[in-house]
Structure 1
Amino acid sequence: MVTDRHAHPMTYTDADAARHYEQALDSLLHFREDVVTEAAAVLQASPRSVMGNVFRTYLGLLGTEEKDAAEAATAFEAHCRHVPSAGLTVRERMHIEAASCWLGGDMHRAGSILAELVVAHPRDALALAVGHQIDFFTGNAALLRDRIGGALSAWDTDDPHYGLLQGMYAFGLEEAGHHSLAESVGLEAVERNARDVWGIHAVVHAYEMQGRHEDGIRYLDARTDDWSTGNYLNVHNWWHYALYQLATDRTDKVLAVYDASVHHAGSAGAAMELLDAASLLWRLYLADKDTGLRWPALADAWAQRDDGAYYAFNDVHAVMAYVGADRISDAERLIADREMWLREVGTGRPELSNVAMTEQIGLPVCRALVAYGRRRYADAVDLLLPVRHRLHGFGGSHAQRDAVQRTLVESALRGGRHDLARTLLSERLNLRPECPYGRDARARLQSA
């Protein structure tokens, strides 16, 4: 039987398909855009390949796009009907179960299955990479760290993918609060592989969480050719670059990056890109900065997607766009749709990860954003305060969720909740004493 290069058997897969599988895996770990064509080549060579079909399914899920997931489900269900599970390896059956759970809406169960899988097969890079992204989508910082950390010792340090795993580990370390270690591991990962855009991203996060914005700008500037084009993460890393510019009060550069690389007429309209755009403009909105006609264009892009209730983290950013564009009615329509979905679907499907994400985090945050847009700051505080320590429950990173945390700070300041504002700013400044936003907000509080 054909195996991958780590000796994992690949059922119904010939040598040519296995070669394309390895190329697809390498592209996935590098976030290269040719991952789609390489994954398709696996199935062209071996249409019944179990791992080829699993890989294609994961690709349909990783973008958090409801329509892509639906297409992936149709193809995967057809594969499972025609390929009996009896002859498959335990590892392959676990991949099928994980993919099926995620297609069914249970991200948490899918992540748990993949975590169990890599205990027995710690060099299954696909299981590690997909599990790592699930941990990101579900906001599980401990697993972001430990899923990769638990497998690293099983890898040879001269393996070409070892450094890429280090890049993942660095991001997990950062999200779990180990900022200095995250920086050093991330720097080592990028030293091994200059085009490890996820490793670069991890270092950038570490600088962000330490308030080292100028260091972040210098780091990204020195490696622009390695991260800025030709990969699925380039928009997100440009978003980080813009955050650094915002922190150093260069609004003109923030808007220049936004127009050139975050959102423009040629943007694909993918949810992950639009949420970066909304998050960036929302920070400018909180700072009362003029953004011209960017909000209406972004709100139109979200409206054209016509998303259903699929991932609450995306919903929150759509509402940011609608509120920023002063399209409160569109925001309220989205909220009403999600409330109806919870009544009609959520009560009978508690295993759907998005049920708890929407009910416990997504809807309170969406309502708070609308309240902020209506200048009902007291209402925004009352909605955000109970969930501020649970925001990780609907996914994203600390840096991404900080847009919501800042909304709470601004609501407390503008709503006259000065004791609360002092407490929130004390928390921020004791973690990041050099953070310009925290210092500016404290100055405004002292003036008030």
Structure 2
Amino acid sequence: MTHLPGPIAPPPRLLMGPGPISAYPSVLTAMSAPLVGQYDPFMTATMTETQELYRRVWRTRNDATVLVDGTSRAGIEAVMVSLIRPGDRVLVPIFGRFGHLLAEIAERALAEVHTIETEWGQVFPDAVIEEAVERVRPTLLALVQGDTSTTMNQPLAGIGEICARHGVLFYTDATASLGGNPFEADGWGLDAATAGLQKCLGGPSGSAPVTLSDRAVEIIRSRKRIEAGIREEGDEAASDFIRSNYFDLGMILDYWGPRRLNHHTEATSMLYGARECARLLLEEGVDNVLARHERAGAAMLAGVQGLGLVVFGDVAHKMTNVVAVEIPDGVVGDAVRSDLLEDFGIEIGTSFGPLHGRVWRIGTMGYNAREDAVLTTLAALEAVLRRHGVAVPAGGGVEVATDVFRGAGEAVWTAHA
């Protein structure tokens, strides 16, 4: 007889990397709630309720505020394939790995993609983006807000006005930043924004909140639909079809709208989890949650500096919720990460591209943006570094981080919108 594995039993972990992170306990509880039918009044009411919660999270009045079932990348792809017509010019300013992702998805949507790049660890001044907009004359500007590969937080407040002045749609990927850094969908003139649950919102990966302006919805609605059996070969309008069924936001909006036109079977447990993520954020208060992330991020930053470690990048523009720490000379970064995981049950992140093997990324987000998680991580990191031959001040990281939490330490960094 073939041996069957027992029930799933993950080891206890404190997830202090760039995401995913440890979920809020009540989110996991919500996801274990009983299922109901897809058109049960409770189900449709919960969908409507969740839309309103996320309007408040995004700080928008957009009626078209929904969830796309899938990871945060599902939301990105849904927006881009639904907004981009083949041949459209798309401008992507790249300051980390996830800008490259936006460019790739735009290329797959058959856009004419133009990119500008800056050194990893930096962000773009508004003037540089405006110059590129004037030169490229794009239909769409696609820009990451917080890129966890570099930990940088791109300022967005002035870019919406630039896009409006030049008739450009403005989309941002806020996967890593929403819920832990300021975000104003309406105030900043966003036409589309997407996120995921697994960072500052404190849930598991698997649901992508999306919000769309009326202008974006109008463009999506104007795209041609492929009706079964009616499209003929060589149809001149074929290039205007949205090339995905699952990620056709026009169809998804019909499903979430008052007509409830069937598109897919909503991921009920993920809906429950997404609702709880938003409910918790709003119950605590958006400003209070942002302040908690800022305080935890400042404490972790001070703590790693207190251990004598060097922080990567332009600290003035880092996200509140993740810090990149340069790996000391002579230390094998993955060996330190392995010891933290095996001996302390703590996960921190590595990095990609030009930063691979150069930095660790340590997150303080969502449920883990709290004092005990920060202090435990710093104490464990100190012990492991000492084991690997790094001379670190005894208790230095925990001491200065505690000062930040107590308000006794001098502020070393504040969040930038």
Q: Is TM > 0.5 for Structure 1 vs Structure 2? A: no
Q: Which has the higher strand share?
A: 2
